A and B are shown apart, each in its own frame.
Chain A
Amino acid sequence: MSKPAERINMGDAKKQAISMIRSYDGPPVRIMEVCGTHTHELFRLGVRGILPEQVTLISGPGCPVCVTPPDFIDAAVWLALEKQVTITTFGDLVRVPGSRDSLASARGKGAKVEVVYSPQDACTYAKEHPEEDVVFLSVGFETTTPSSCLALEQAEREKISNFSLLTANKTMPEAYKMLQGSADIFLYPGHVNAIAGNAVCQQLCRQGISGVVTGFTAAEIVTAIAIALSKFKEGKPFFVNAYPRVVKDEGSPAAQALTDKYLEPCDTIWRGLGEIPGSGLRLKEEYASFDAYRRYAIPKMEGKTSPLCRCGEVLQGKCRPVDCKVFGKGCTPEHPIGACMVSGEGACSAYYQYGGVIK
């Protein structure tokens, strides 16, 4: 039987990067992939299978679903069941557990939940259903937030008054500071940097925190790891943009301006990490009519998580999913207890689905 590797026709760059990674002979190093999409791809591609022993990958908190606290889900469920609001959402959030209900289980109790492809599709849904009150669950990081703002712009322009946002948008800079020390190198999320630019990463580098921003194809991921290892051996802090075909230093000024127009920084709670000052975004006062919190006077929610769940430590790279008592027992993708098991990007879900890695 042929060895799997011999059957694969690989591009030269991939081959070269893999060979550089395999031959890494530097000191032990921990690399944190910040972005959940990277976590997912690293598992799907079996990247751990090419890493030398002294290289450890840690899954970071960059999955908007995983870091969204349960009281956000509770608020959405409350809106749907108590205020008969139509909830529009990305598919990712539907199965996330709240204190009692997820949106999926609330649907069984009569909640109207529409899965949409984009925030603007949610706004268009509101336009086409003027008799319904429509709320979009606005989660996401720098990459996703401008899309929510485009939906607001559409609602303003077309005077769609039955549309509002329940915001839980987050930004990365403060989170990086909190995570420093969890890893030696960050793999930065390419699509966050495509919007926000590289300034924050360059600043972190000047403070001694190394990282490589990378894309999401197999070639890009292995190349970024090869670059990270090669630079790490040199012993000096570094920042490399390994995704210049999409990421420019300045990011997307248009997207930044749009976000600044509608939203302002606020303190926010990350599921598992607790409150990180200045790492959230909320609607500015002049757009209060689009703010579901104010519009529906949503009461304080319970926001209860299971005491057994260790998602918080998993998100900080302090423990592995398999170290959690409920992992794979009480907590599975079919019946998730913690958010990291819900999202396809969550570290627990990825560990569970891919069941470890075969070398």
Chain B
Amino acid sequence: MNDRVSLAHGAGGKQTAELIDKVFKAHFSNPLFTADDAAVFPVEAGKMAFSTDGFIVSPAFFPGGNIGKLSICGTVNDLACMGAEPLYLTCAFVIEEGFPMDKLEEVAASMEKTAAEAGVKIVAGDTKVAGKGQVDGLFITTAGIGRIRDGVSTSGAFAKPGDAVIVSGDIGRHGCTILLARDEFGIDAQVTSDCAPLWGTVKAMTDATQDIHVIRDATRGGVGTVLYEVAEQSGAGIRLFAEDIPVQDSVKGVCGMLGLEPLYLACEGRLVIIAPKEHAQELVDVLKQCPYSQDAAIIGEVTGDMPGRVTMVTELGTETILSRPTGELLPRIC
């Protein structure tokens, strides 16, 4: 097989079949992986969750993961946040002509590994090849379906005054990792992406208590954006305690250099959990036992004071409004 993806690999003929066999089937093989037009599987009674997400990330490979791992985690975590055990995924690839075959293989391998860890089966896929320059390397879209655990019902609208706000770990690592990997500002720091599949984490929490109001994964806009969405959806206020928010030192350092707010840096393996205060410590204890949430912490509370706003108790003991993010993150120098 060629060492780079060519337009012929996307033409639907012999070379397409070869690409699918050698790369995708080799990694995604399971009895349900379809050779037909659609995957067929039995469905149990109960509620299902269904979600889709597209992934473009530059660079496609970064410390702590790659676009393949990200594409599995993203959809798995979206399902998990609804209390759904991820069952089946589909994935669609748009590959730039000339993309190295060994890199594609590496992406498929990490998708296989991550899917196995999350307990989800890849049951259908699609491959297109776009001409040089029409896409940036590789775009992946995944869709997934999962079965919602009985008794679990979460939504941003369910946050109530008296709830505690928990994050499952230190924040901003994925965004910081990508920023450093682009190497636009000549900054070096030991930061790896937090990208991780979190169904196991949600399962452990919902084993402990099903009285959880909100579970959200903080992706693109970071924890701050999620909290503003929850405040708006629920009409409650959210009060954060600045000094309780876990941020890795090196992430703080990078943010200091560029004038960025860690609350608005992307995460790919962090949950924001909102639950009645009486369960908060128990949930944190459970989270600390799980592989991706040892640094879980209670960072705030839901209040009736400032509907729709997120506030922050500062190091002076005063309370201020958390500023909202404004579009593109631009480093602030002067």
Contact = CB atoms under 8 A, between A and B. Distances in A.
Interface of A: 1, 4-8, 10, 14, 18, 43-50, 63-65, 90-92, 94-95, 104, 115-118, 121, 139-140, 144, 218, 222, 333-334, 344-345, 353-358
Nearest to B277: A1
Contacts of B239: 4
B319 to A, nearest CB: 5
A305 to B, nearest CB: 21
Interface in B286-319: 301, 306, 309, 311, 313-319
Contacts of B306: 358
Given A45-B314, A333-B326, A353-B324, A115 B319 contact: no
B317 A8 contact: yes
B334 A334 contact: no
Contacts of B323: 43-44, 353-354
A117 B241 contact: no
Contact of B334 (A64, A353, A357): A64
A95 B331 CA distance: 12
A4 B316 CA distance: 9
Contacts of B309: 355
The 8 A-B residue pairs whose C-beta atoms are closest, nearest first, are A46-B318, A91-B330, A5-B317, A49-B318, A353-B323, A46-B320, A4-B313, A333-B326
Q: Which residue, B306, B321, B334, has most C-beta atoms of chain A within 10 A?
A: B334
Contacts of A91: 330-333
B317 A115 contact: no
A44 B320 contact: yes
A8 B330 contact: no
A160 to B, nearest CB: 18
Contact of A354 (B259, B317, B320, B332): B320
B185 interface: yes
Contact of A92 (B319, B327, B332): B332
A95 B317 contact: no
A45 B315 contact: yes
A7 B334 CA distance: 33
A354 B323 CA distance: 5
Nearest to A49: B318
Interface residues of B, number: 33
Contacts of A334: 326-327
A49 B319 contact: yes
A357 B333 CA distance: 25
Contacts of A50: 316, 318
B314 A46 contact: yes
Q: Which residue, B315, B317, B321, has most C-beta atoms of chain A within 10 A?
A: B317
A217 to B, nearest CB: 9
A193 to B, nearest CB: 16
A357 B320 contact: yes
Contacts of B318: 4-5, 45-50, 357-358
Contacts of B311: 358
B320 to A, nearest CB: 4
A218 B320 contact: no
Nearest to A217: B315
A76 to B, nearest CB: 16
Contacts of B334: 63-65, 90, 92, 139-140, 144, 345
Contacts of B333: 90-92, 117-118
Contacts of A63: 334
Contacts of A7: 241, 313, 317
A344 B320 contact: no
B257 to A, nearest CB: 8
A352 to B, nearest CB: 8
B243 interface: yes
B184 interface: yes
Contacts of A140: 334
Contacts of B317: 4-8, 10, 18
28 contacts: A4-B239, A4-B241, A4-B317, A4-B319, A5-B317, A7-B317, A18-B317, A43-B320, A44-B320, A45-B314, A45-B316, A46-B316, A47-B318, A49-B316, A50-B318, A63-B334, A64-B334, A91-B330, A95-B330, A117-B257, A117-B331, A218-B314, A218-B315, A334-B327, A344-B259, A345-B332, A354-B320, A357-B318
Given A92-B334, A353-B324, 15 more contacts: A5-B317, A7-B241, A7-B313, A8-B315, A45-B320, A46-B320, A49-B318, A49-B319, A50-B318, A90-B331, A90-B334, A91-B331, A117-B331, A121-B185, A144-B334
A115 B327 contact: no
A6 B306 CA distance: 20
Contacts of B316: 8, 10, 14, 18, 45-47, 49-50, 218, 222
A249 to B, nearest CB: 24
B42 interface: no
Contacts of A48: 318
Contacts of A353: 321, 323-324
Contacts of B321: 353-356, 358
B330 A92 contact: yes
Nearest to A8: B317
Contacts of A118: 333
